[in-house]
Amino acid sequence: MLSSGCCSLSSAVKIGVAGLGVVGSGTLRLLQAHRELIAGRSGRPLLVSAVSARDRQKDRGIDISAVRWFENAEVMAADPELDLVIELIGGSDGVAKAVVEAALAAGKPVVTANKALMAHHGGALARRAEQAGVSLAYEAAVAGGIPIIKGLREGLAANELGCIYGILNGTCNYILSGMRDSGREFAEVLAEAQQLGYAEADPSFDVDGIDSAHKLAILAALCFGCEVDFEAVHVEGIREISSLDIGFAEELGYRIKLLGLARRGNGGLEQRVHPTMVRRDAPIAGIEGVFNAVVAEGDFVGSFMAEGRGAGAGPTASAVVADVIDIARGSRLPTFAVPATELQRLPAVGLSERQGSYYLRLMVLDQPGVIADVAAILRDLSISVEALLQRGRAPGEAVPVVITTHETREADMTAALQRIAALDAVLESPRMVRIEDL
């Protein structure tokens, strides 16, 4: 059995893989293609000796005829002949959770790419791993092939981190980049992403921000030594972003990105995922297409950014196997950088406490007095206007009006939006995007 400092570095590591989808099959291909290189870097051979998946007959483009097949992945996870279990089934509960729990109960280290599982049960699973004296590794759960977990937990271990943020979903980044480049609307670029395999048939987890929120909750726990608290993450997606908003953002010197941001301060932890306007010259504004990027701010290192492919068989398999190599070498680190028993419970800082600038886009009747009415509402709530854009004239018809504000409270902006929406001349719900100075 593998544990820190107690295993022979000459014997093969016998691995069981639960789940043979895109990532599972990719992991087996990587282990086969780089067998000698990986053995050299691990100090011992890595041998897949058991697998479990739903369909034994499916053609996955890999030969598994010599590998033991288990119909029941949970039974496989407890098999005494295995040294390590890789969980690639997915989902926050059900079989995936049972497999990980069974492996830990049997004293086996676990490698997983399952962000939903770690976001919902990471703290409890970390405590089980610690009690069993084995590793629970999850590099592939966040940002695919970017080694951000290792970077934060090891490379930045000497720093106190104040903030972490990033583009955590390649599907959303591809859609927003495509909308800006082509002037097309959300639905059309989403359909293209689905045709290219960048978006699922049901894209809700991606475009509604849930996938990013899972990853952010994990990163926050790792950075701030706190319990994983997915329920405290404020989540908004990108369905309401229009090409009109993206065009105005460009005109104002910004780009719109779906960002996840976590910051410790104000007596607690702020965690939020939402479309965000960032200045075009900000490093993260240049991350395009399906790429991900994560930025951490440390007190000694300053700002650190890592970017790369956040999904796909190859990048994710790379992260999975990197974790296996670490475990084979005898490395065992706390799951979230500090012992699980020392993870803090930080109060959630609500979004209403945010202080920042805002972009507003209104569709209003082109008639006298409309701007004055809007300005009066902003004045009454002590919201200062930075810029105002109105293009063309169309008396009696709908025209867009764009306003950016100086720093103000989210609670005041929410109240202003409600009052503005009630004006007779405002023809649809105001669109609001938060501006971050990153």
User: Is there a contact between 349 and 265 (Cβ–Cβ < 8 Å)?
Assistant: yes
The gap from C-alpha 386 to its chain's centroid, in whole angstroms, comes to 32
Q: In the structure encoding, which two tokens stand for residue 74, read together? A: 């949970």
Beta bridge partners of 32: none
What is the rounded distance in angstroms from the CA atom of residue 256 to the CA atom of residue 274? Answer: 10
SS3 of residue 138 by DSSP: coil
What is the rounded distance in angstroms from the CA atom of residue 102 to the CA atom of residue 105? Answer: 5
CA distances for 216 relative to 157, 173, 212, angstroms: 19, 16, 6
What is the rounded distance in angstroms from the CA atom of residue 224 to the CA atom of residue 222? Answer: 6
Of residues 279, 277, 252, 254, the one with CA closest to residue 386: 252
What is the rounded distance in angstroms from the CA atom of residue 237 to the CA atom of residue 206? Answer: 8
The residue from 108, 115, 215, 257 that is catalytic is 215
What is the rounded distance in angstroms from the CA atom of residue 81 to the CA atom of residue 402? Answer: 65
Neighbours of 187 (CB within 10 A): 10
> Kind and range of the H or E element at 363?
strand 355-365
DSSP string, 37-80: HHHHHHTS-EEEEEEE-S-TT---SS--TTSEE-S-HHHHHT-T
SS3 of residue 182 by DSSP: helix
The DSSP bridge pattern shows strands 234-235 and 268-279 to be parallel
For 385, counting Cβ atoms within 10 Å of its Cβ (0-12 exposed, 13-18 middle, 19+ buried), the class is: middle
Strand order in the sheet with 110-112: 68-69, 46-52, 13-18, 84-87, 110-112, 136-137
The gap from C-alpha 361 to its chain's centroid, in whole angstroms, comes to 28
DSSP state of 426: B
Q: Is 215 a catalytic residue?
A: yes
* Residues taking part in catalysis: 215
